[in-house]
Amino acid sequence: MAENEERYDIYPVISLNHIVVFPGMIMQIELADGKEADSARRALREGSKVFVTLRKNTDTEYLTPGDVCEIGTVGEIIQLMRLPNNQTRVVIRGLFRGRISDWFDRSEGPYAEVENYPMDEVELSVVEKEALFRSLMETTERFLSVSTKLPKDLKNKMLQIRDLNVLMEQIIILLPIPVRFRQEILESDNRIGQYQRLQSIMIGEMEVLRIRSEIDAKVQKSLDKNQKDYVLREQMKVIRGELGEGQEDDCEEFLKKVEELEASEDVKKAIRNEIRRYRNMGANNSEGQVIRNYIETLLALPWDRGSEENIDIKRASEILERDHYGLEKVKERILEYLAVRARVSNAEAPILCLVGPPGTGKTSIAKSIAEAMNRKYVRVCLGGVRDEAEIRGHRRTYVASMPGRIVAGLKEAGVNNPLMLLDELDKLGSDYKGDPSAALLEVLDSAQNSRFVDHFVDLPTDLSKIVFLATANTTETIPKPLLDRVEVLELSSYTENEKVHIAEGYLIPKQMKNHGLTAKEITFSETAIRDMINYYTREAGVRALERTIGKVCRKVILKKAEGAADEQEVLKKADGVSDEKNLKKTAADKKVNITRKNLKDYLGIYRFHKEDRAKKPQVGVARGLAWTSVGGTTLEIEVNAMKGTGKVEMTGLMGDVMRESATAGISYIRSIADTYAVPEDYFEKHDIHIHIPEGAVPKDGPSAGITMVTAVLSAVTGIPVSSDVAMTGEVTMRGRVLPIGGLKEKMLAAKQVGISRLLVPSDNRDDVSDISDEIKEGMDIRFVANMDQVISEAFVR
């Protein structure tokens, strides 16, 4: 490696991450567009000289003297070429070794003042040179024999070298030496130092290669053994399958379970036949796994295995009262069944359907009923089910077939007499795959379900011992044949007092337990509970009320934690010492009383406001009552009569039934117009506009018929309607008032608004007598049979 005469000059700096350039070496380097490429282009403009050094710190963008090696090579740029991928190709020839003596950070990039730094000259005799050459050549040969990744012709090329200096240069250029070792060779003081470093590096690399080779050999040996074992196992499987011996152990286990199975002899015979088929089937047969899955399912079903039922009526009553407030009809029906079971052991299990608004306890009471009857509880959710196979199961010819949800529920329960909850019966769907509600006809028919056949099981399954309990929000979407097979028990909305009792007895203790609070830490006043019911929830059930109570509990816990932190900070400032344990205890001991005054601090502003009734009678305005799936509500129907051409306009998102009811009512009004001295041509010269506020809410049904007739007649005659009266009932074209449903919810809605007088169809008299006195208290209920009575009660003359 010849070196030029002594130089001392300033050059642009190119710092490289993984390349060391030596004097006498010609290297092709690709630089990404940036400072290094800029330095190469500047060097080409300023005389083609550049200082190339190894970068020590690869993470920094701006170079400092400490980021690069002090010793590098001054080189000459022979060629510079721009490449299309934002790269610059530079060909550099190393001239001489240099050392940085000063550093300059210029705007265009880094420069270094470099002094010529040649190696020390060492005089060697011919014998010493020969000894060094032979030793280095021997080490090189061994290195080439160990390294398997080098080209085959490289060994021959190296063996033809006869000069020590040339051999050292070729080793540095051609052999894979790590970059840090290359820099150490460049920094060596003389040829002897370079020789010693090369010997040390190659010997170390050979040791690394030897150890790596040993490890690779061990890994390969292990892989070969594993592969051999795998092949042998696969061959053994094939041989056993050909001999029919692969399933023998499984078949013996299955036969043993059949003998222990509590089932009829017909069922056991069918299972034995399937085991025989499985035994005679090869292991590679795709049907083998299907048969095995089928056998395991049959063995897991509780054919004749049932749980012992509780017929202690007193204990059952205590359990039902413990977990749920109200729901008297449901509790009474369950106790009736238990009373019959005490007399008749094979009494027919009831098939009940609980129908009511969300949050009234339909689903949760099922668990309590199961506990009261000492039966296993299984829930089958039917909401959104659209495939008949979900009920009857898939035939075994299909891939990944499985039993239907009814049989799967039996398998989950482990007994043949659980309480099975069919949740959301009214949410069943249907499509091209079949109608699941039709499949349920057999399931819920006590005369047929003793021999229900699931497509997957393909054997008669007795469902008659199951107590089926279904839930629904409405019966309108349940097919009539299916509805005919269940005993409907309607659950009405809770009154305010009922909600208070439920909150105090069930919801508050439950939420306090869930949030780790005790009665010493928090209490709820009755007025606060009533405000939560009236101003923060608007529902028929208590689900939102429970979430609201949980929100208060979380707020209390947060304020306690913040209070403890504040106390600790105050003590730190005062004394410089804090007892964290005592502080936490002090904060926890502070009892929080939730009252009407501080309720907004925990729940914010009111979400709902009570709707007030009109303070004085108005013309063309009448208040009706409506039932929805989430409880009752009031409808203030407004009517305007204007000069026009006899058009009737109806707005407020009214349904078809409600529109027809309004049309029938107007026909009735026209038939009695003479009674109220309405001109004969009034309806030809006036337009009538009927509107129900809250236009974004859909409204339908006939029960607002008498309300619309009253409002229209008031607008036509100019006679005001009393503001303290509300009404409900269907009207005919002859003016008769027909009965309606949902009376309890409607009366609750009227009471919340402050209505004291109700007009109810005479045919609903029995329904009114069945409503609790708590709801009827303070209300004047008037029974009406025709519109003459309605008008007499509603108009203010």
Selection from 34, 69, 32, 35 nearest residue 54 by Cα: 69
Q: Is 357 helix (H, G, I), strand (E, B) or coil?
A: coil
Calculate helix-pair angle for 152-159, 164-174, nearest 10 degrees.
160
**How many angstroms separate the CA atoms of 550 and 552, rounded?**
5
Active site residue 776: no
CA torsion, ordered 732, 738, 742, 747, to nearest 10 deg: 100
Give 96's strand partners.
74
**How many angstroms separate the CA atoms of 630 and 538, rounded?**
9
**How many angstroms separate the CA atoms of 301 and 415, rounded?**
8
**523, 591 contact by CB (below 8 A):** yes
Report which residue type is found at 140: T
Residue 272: Cβ within 10 Å count: 15
Active site residue 746: yes
Q: Is 507 helix (H, G, I), strand (E, B) or coil?
A: helix
Q: In what order do the strands lie in the sheet with 377-381?
A: 377-381, 419-423, 467-472, 351-355, 487-490
**How many angstroms separate the CA atoms of 643 and 708, rounded?**
20
**782, 664 contact by CB (below 8 A):** no
From 560, 699, 746, 751, active-site residue:
746
Residue 315: Cβ within 10 Å count: 14
Alpha helices in 244-361 (DSSP H): 248-260, 265-279, 286-300, 313-323, 328-343
Q: What is the CA radius of gyration of the chain?
A: 47
Give 422's strand partners.
380, 470
**How many angstroms separate the CA atoms of 88 and 493, rounded?**
80
Calculate helix-pair angle for 313-323, 362-373, nearest 10 degrees.
150
Where on the phi/psi map is residue 86: left (φ > 0), alpha (ψ -120 to 50), or beta?
A: left
- What are the backbone angles phi and psi of residue 250, rounded to the nearest 5°? -65, -40
Beta-strand ranges (E) seen in 630-729 are 631-643, 648-651, 686-691, 725-727
**639, 688 contact by CB (below 8 A):** yes
For 49, the token pair is: 């000289």
Q: Return the residue matching tokens 């095995």.
A: 292
**376, 370 contact by CB (below 8 A):** yes
Buried b (16+ CB within 10 A) or exposed e, 762-772: eebeebbeebe
- In the chain, helix, strand, coil percent, each to 5? 45, 20, 35
**How many angstroms separate the CA atoms of 56 and 34, rounded?**
18
3-state SS string for 590-655: CCEEECCCCHHHHHCCCCCCCCCCCCCCECCEEEEEEEECCEEEEEEEEEEEEECCCCEEEECCEC
From 493, 703, 714, 722, active-site residue:
703
For 584, the enclosing helix (H) or strand (E) is: helix 580-589
Q: Is 684 helix (H, G, I), strand (E, B) or coil?
A: helix
Buried b (16+ CB within 10 A) or exposed e, 392-403: bbbebeeeebbb
Cα–Cα separations (whole angstroms), residue 790 to 64, 474, 740, 794: 99, 30, 15, 6
Residues forming the active site: 703, 746
